[in-house]
Amino acid sequence: MSPEALMSWIIFTPTLFAFGLIFFDKKAEEPMRYWSLCGTAVTFLQTLLLACSFSPEDAGIQHMVKVPWIENWHINYQVGFDGISLPLVLLTSFVSLLSMMASWSIKKQVKGYLVLFLLLETGMLGVFLSLDFFLFYVFWEVMLLPMYFLIGIWGGPRREYAAIKFFLYTLAGSVLMLIAILMFYFGSAPEGQIGSFDLMQLTAMAEKGDVFSPGLQVAAFILLFIGFAIKVPCFPFHTWLPDAHVEAPTPISMILAGVLLKMGGYGIIRIAFPLCPYGAQYAAYVLVAIGVTSIIYGGFAALAQTDFKRLVAYSSVSHMGYVLLGIAVWKISESNGAAVGRDYWLMGMNGAVFQMLAHGISSPAMFFMVGVIYDRVHHRDINQFGGLSGLMPLYSGLAAGIFFAGLGLPGMCGFIGEVFVVLSAWNFSKTLAIVSASGVIITAGYILWCLQRVYLGPEYKGPHLDEIKANPLTTRETFIGATFLAFCIFFGVFPNYVFDMTGKSMEKLVQGLDTGYQNTQRLTGGVQTTQTTQKQN
Partner 1 sequence: MNDIGSLVVRLLDETTKTSVGLFAPELVLSGTIVLMLAFRVLPGLNRIPTQWVALLGAFGSFALALCQFDRLVTGEIPPTSFFTGMLMFDQLGTFFRMFLSLFLILTITLTVLTGIPDRDDAADFYTLLIGSTIGMMIMASANHLLMMFMGVEMTSVPSYAMVGFLKGRKKSSEAALKYVVYGAGAAGVMLYGISLLAGLTGTGSMPDMAQRLGMIVSQNAGIGDATVRTILLAGLMVLVGLAFKLSIFPFHFWCPDAFEGAAAEVAGFLSVASKAGAFALLVRFGLSFTSTSAAVSEVGFSFGIGLGVLAAATATFGNLSAYGQTNIKRMLAYSTIAHAGYMLMAVSALLVLAHGKQVGLDTQGEARRCIEGLIYYLFVYLFMNLGAFAIVSLIRNQIFSEEIEDYNGLATQCPVLCFGMLLCVFSLVGLPPMGGFWAKLVIFSAVFKATAVHWVMWGVLGAGAINTVFSLFYYIRILKAMYIKSRPAGARSVRYDLFPGGVFVLLICLPILGLGILPQGFTDKFHNIADALLTQIGR
Least spacing, CB of residue 20 vs partner 1, in Å:
17
CA distances from 489 to 20, 287, 401, 446, 504 (A): 37, 31, 9, 21, 25
Least spacing, CB of residue 138 vs partner 1, in Å:
4
Least spacing, CB of residue 152 vs partner 1, in Å:
5
Least spacing, CB of residue 123 vs partner 1, in Å:
10
Least spacing, CB of residue 145 vs partner 1, in Å:
7
94: CB partners within 8 A, 6+ apart: 44, 47
The smaller minimum CB distance to partner 1, of residues 165 and 380, is found at 165
HSE, CB side, 13 Å, CA atoms: give it for residue 174.
19
The smaller minimum CB distance to partner 1, of residues 66 and 508, is found at 66
Find out whether 13 and 46 touch, Cβ atoms under 8 Å: yes
- Residue 498 host element (H or E): helix 496-524
CA separation for the pair 172, 237 (Å, rounded): 11
Least spacing, CB of residue 160 vs partner 1, in Å:
6
Dihedral-angle region of residue 102 (phi above 0 means left; psi in -120 to 50 means alpha; beta otherwise): alpha
Dihedral-angle region of residue 333 (phi above 0 means left; psi in -120 to 50 means alpha; beta otherwise): beta
The smaller minimum CB distance to partner 1, of residues 158 and 469, is found at 158
The smaller minimum CB distance to partner 1, of residues 182 and 304, is found at 182
CA separation for the pair 104, 97 (Å, rounded): 12
**Binding residues for partner 1, per CB under 8 A?**
69-73, 137-138, 141-142, 144-145, 148-149, 152-153, 159-160, 163-164, 167-168, 171-172, 175-176, 178-179, 182-183, 185-186, 191-192
CA separation for the pair 488, 365 (Å, rounded): 9
The smaller minimum CB distance to partner 1, of residues 168 and 304, is found at 168
Instruction: Give the length of the chain.
Output: 537
The smaller minimum CB distance to partner 1, of residues 149 and 499, is found at 149
The smaller minimum CB distance to partner 1, of residues 156 and 457, is found at 156
The smaller minimum CB distance to partner 1, of residues 197 and 297, is found at 197
Least spacing, CB of residue 530 vs partner 1, in Å:
16
Least spacing, CB of residue 194 vs partner 1, in Å:
10
The smaller minimum CB distance to partner 1, of residues 100 and 115, is found at 115
10 Å Cβ neighbour count for 507?
A: 17
Burial class (CB in 10 A: 0-12, 13-18, 19+), 489: middle
CA distances from 162 to 113, 147, 150, 244 (A): 18, 11, 11, 5
The smaller minimum CB distance to partner 1, of residues 189 and 437, is found at 189
CA separation for the pair 109, 191 (Å, rounded): 53
Least spacing, CB of residue 365 vs partner 1, in Å:
29
Find out whether 197 and 181 touch, Cβ atoms under 8 Å: yes
- Residue 35 host element (H or E): helix 29-52
Which residue, among 182, 148, 179, has the nearest Cα to 165 in the 3D structure? Answer: 148
Burial class (CB in 10 A: 0-12, 13-18, 19+), 266: buried
131 phi, psi to nearest 5 deg: -120, 10
The smaller minimum CB distance to partner 1, of residues 168 and 448, is found at 168
Least spacing, CB of residue 163 vs partner 1, in Å:
8
Least spacing, CB of residue 502 vs partner 1, in Å:
30
Dihedral-angle region of residue 305 (phi above 0 means left; psi in -120 to 50 means alpha; beta otherwise): beta
Which residue, among 159, 170, 44, 164, has the nearest Cα to 108 in the 3D structure? Answer: 159
